[in-house]
């Protein structure tokens, strides 16, 4: 009886440690992808955007800040979707 209880306890701890390892691997993967999405991609965009903008400049076009354009479009769609008629 005591031996069977001990075997069940060992199986329980082995299964819990296996699940904990799997969760730790997923946590590490999500941390790495979070670093890529929140830091690496914006830094690459900030480095590459001025060159692309200069290479594809059209005559007579104004220099616009992409952040201001994004905020303007967001506000415009927000106001357009939530106007009272």
Q: Which residues of 7-29 are buried (b: 16+ CB within 10 A; e: fewer)?
A: eeeeeeeeeeeeeeeeeeeeeee
For residues 82 and 5, give the distance between their C-alpha atoms in angstroms, rounded to a whole number: 63
What pLDDT sits at residue 79?
Answer: 59
Rounded to the nearest 10 degrees, how much is the dihedral formed by the CA atoms of 15, 21, 25, 30? 80
Q: For residue 6, how many other CB atoms are within 10 A of its CB?
A: 10
- Alpha carbon 45 to its chain centroid, in Å, reads 15
45: DSSP letter = H
The two tokens of residue 36 are: 């890529």
- Each residue of 27-72: pLDDT tens digit? 999 999 988 888 888 888 888 888 887 887 777 777 777 677 777 7
The two tokens of residue 32 are: 């790495």
pTM: 0.46
pLDDT higher than 90, residue 24: yes
């Amino acid at each position: 009886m005591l031996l069977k209880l001990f075997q069940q306890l060992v199986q329980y701890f082995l299964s819990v440690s296996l699940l904990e390892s799997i969760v730790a691997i997923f946590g590490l993967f999500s941390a790495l992808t979070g670093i890529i999405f929140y830091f690496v991609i914006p830094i690459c965009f900030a480095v590459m955007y001025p060159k692309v903008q200069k290479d594809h400049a059209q005559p007579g076009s104004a220099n616009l800040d992409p952040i201001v354009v994004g905020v303007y479009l967001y506000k415009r769609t927000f106001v357009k979707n939530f106007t009272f008629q």
